[in-house]
Amino acid sequence: MNRVWGILAVWAMTAMVTACGSAEKTPDAGDGAQMVNRVGKTMPADAVPASAQTLRQALVEPSTLDVGIALFKAQFIAFLFEQLVVFDDNLELKPAAAASWSVGPDKKTWTIKMRPGGKWSDGRPVTAYDFEWSFQRLLDPASGNIFAYFYYPIKGAQAFNTGKTTDPATLGVKALDETTLTIETTEPWSHFPYILAFFTSVPAPRWQVEKFGTRWTDPDNCVSNSTWMLENWNKGRDMTFALNEHYNGPFKGYLERLHFKFVEGGWRGLAAYENDEFDRVGIDGPDFIRVLDDPVLSKELNTFPNFGTYYLIFQNDKPPFDNVKLRQAIAHAIDRESICNIVMSGTATPAYGMLPKGFPGYQVDRLKPHQAFDLALARKLLAEAGYPDGKGVPPLELWVRGSPPTPLEQQAVVAIQQGLKDHLGITVSLRNMTANEFNDHMVNHRIPWGFLWFNMDYPDPSDMIAVPWRSQPAGAGRQDWKNDVFDGLVDAAAREFDEARRVAMYQEAEEILAREAAGVFLFNMVNAGLNKPRVKGIDVNKYGDRRWSGLTPSYAGLYIGKSE
């Protein structure tokens, strides 16, 4: 799945529409006094007064804020709602709306205790019943939630979501009382807490949804349960989020407000950032190179790996790609280093497997020999496949997801096309397709050869190894590749609760992907963003990355500090 979340910028807002709740200003502390913001959080010593604690960013305008069932339309504004558990900057699970979670001896019954005193932005208590109803809602086929399949291991979830039953009471999600939620899975499911932390695993306020329907996230109706609440939404222009004074959880924000100015998709904000209209912007391509060469901007640059992988898939059960040696020859004929460093100007890093650098379970040394650029080996494999010097290779067409693809994607694809011609004598034509068209062909296993990407849904190998690669019948999955040993490993890993053994199983499975050239792994993009020096709280995590913010809860640690 494509995750384009993080291109951020804003300006001062005008003609606002007042939304749910009020957000009165906190008086600024006098000289020498310790400042405490409106939700009782003590500000860092170098923080500027509350009146200046506003972060200015940019966003493609959402059509709804209903994150639980319409994540893409909500533009990933997941910070407005708080899941039971969340990931911190170190990709570790932390309690949020829940105080604790545990699994019973059967490894199938999970018990979640709610955080005491949790409240919605309108002051109502957040209860286990809110989550019971919200899980029923996100699995209701009428909701159209495209991520409903994530929850299929829950007892009764698939049957309910596919219409085989219409009774939500058949779901294995039950509130025993206001403070206790139980969730039963059909089989042991070791990474279930990661699903609880996924963006869509958020509650919705039932009383607002039932009263206002699809308009419950409109400015006058929106109610949320995180440290943020919708304050203003000036349609077509901008929106503001303010601190929720009813929030009592562990992720209270420092910032008084988040301001988002709406921009068009593909917007580039470097010029506006230099004009001090924004506190943060994302950059790529030519802007990235210019920033690297600028003595001032380069000091304001943050880069970290994007947890997504670009790769090639094949129709493995039909010629010519049923020939593993042809797939392996292609894998060894692609010069990833040159594509990343020269063609893409350093905005990507080479990939030799599915897991990106910095991702749990990453193991480049084990995978690289199976897919590294090696022309002598590539030509040898091509000859063994029955195509010496490329003679006899049938016409090949590479289908490219994205019509048009981004400039960097197009440059990479053309480099691959030219490299296979130069290195192996293989002629490749390109066919660009819209994402929807490509995905329809992909899920039905009709793509002979495809260029695409998969971005992380949650930071665990189960997501990037099992979700896209575990064999599925036509109508599900991404390709027709099937390997019984691979399937057995990822199925066993899902039932394994010992973390070290579980990750080792996924690593062994990933090596099968690379060795058999089930896919040809190409590169991982580099996330790059500019942050004004006054934006503080972007800490280095245990992986050595200075991420813009946690996956969720976003922005909790950020604040505006005094200029140095």
User: What residues contact 497, with CB distance under 8 A and at least 6 apart?
Assistant: 103, 107, 188, 190
Q: Which two tokens stand for residue 192?
A: 């279930």
Strands 308-314, 519-531: parallel, antiparallel or unpaired by DSSP? antiparallel
Q: Are 74 and 65 in contact (CB under 8 A)?
A: yes
Prior bond of 404 cis (ω within 30°):
yes
Give how far Cα 125 sits from Cα of 101, 134, 178, 262, Å: 19, 15, 9, 33
Distance CA 155, CA 177 (A): 20
Environment class of 302 (CB within 10 Å of its CB; exposed 0-12, middle 13-18, buried 19+): middle
Distance, in Å, from the CA atom of 384 to the CA atom of 561, rounded to the nearest integer, reads: 63
Cβ-contact 227, 253 below 8 angstroms: yes
- Torsion sign across C-alpha atoms 193, 367, 409, 388: negative
For residues 203 and 81, is the Cβ–Cβ distance under 8 A? yes
Cβ(59)–Cβ(128) below 8 Å: no
Burial (0-12, 13-18, 19+ Cβ within 10 Å), 57: buried
pLDDT of 552 reads 55
- Written as one letter, the residue type at 22 is S
The 8-class DSSP code of residue 119 comes to B
Residue 292's nearest CA partner among 99, 115, 133, 526 is 526
Q: Tell me, which fold does domain 308-525 have in CATH?
A: Dipeptide-binding Protein; domain 3 (3.10.105)
Q: For each of the chain's 564 residues, which pLDDT tens digit applies?
A: 333 323 222 222 222 222 333 334 444 544 546 799 999 999 999 999 999 999 999 999 999 999 999 999 999 898 999 999 999 888 889 999 999 999 999 999 999 999 999 999 999 999 999 999 999 999 999 999 999 999 999 999 999 999 999 999 999 999 999 999 999 999 999 999 999 999 999 999 999 999 999 999 999 999 999 999 999 999 999 999 999 999 999 999 999 999 999 998 778 889 999 999 999 998 887 888 899 999 999 999 988 888 999 999 999 999 999 999 999 999 999 999 999 999 988 889 999 999 998 899 999 999 999 999 999 999 999 999 999 999 999 999 999 998 788 888 999 999 999 999 999 999 999 999 998 899 999 999 999 999 999 999 899 999 999 999 999 998 888 899 999 999 999 999 999 999 999 999 999 999 999 999 999 999 999 888 999 999 998 877 777 666 655 455 678 889 999 976
pLDDT value of position 131: 98
Whole-angstrom distance, CA of residue 60 vs CA of residue 288:
21
The pLDDT value given to residue 286: 81
What is the rounded CA–CA span in Å between residue 299 and residue 284? Answer: 16
DSSP state, residue 141: G
Instruction: Tell the residue number behind the tokens 């291109």, with chain if given.
Output: 7
Q: Which of 446, 414, 412 is nearest to 430 (CA)?
A: 414
- Give the per-residue pLDDT at 564: 64
Supply 553's token pair: 């809860």
CB count within 10 Å of CB 483 equals 17
Residue ranges per domain, the chain? 80-220, 308-525
CA 321 and chain centroid, separation:
31
CATH topology of domain 80-220: Dipeptide-binding Protein; domain 1 (3.90.76)
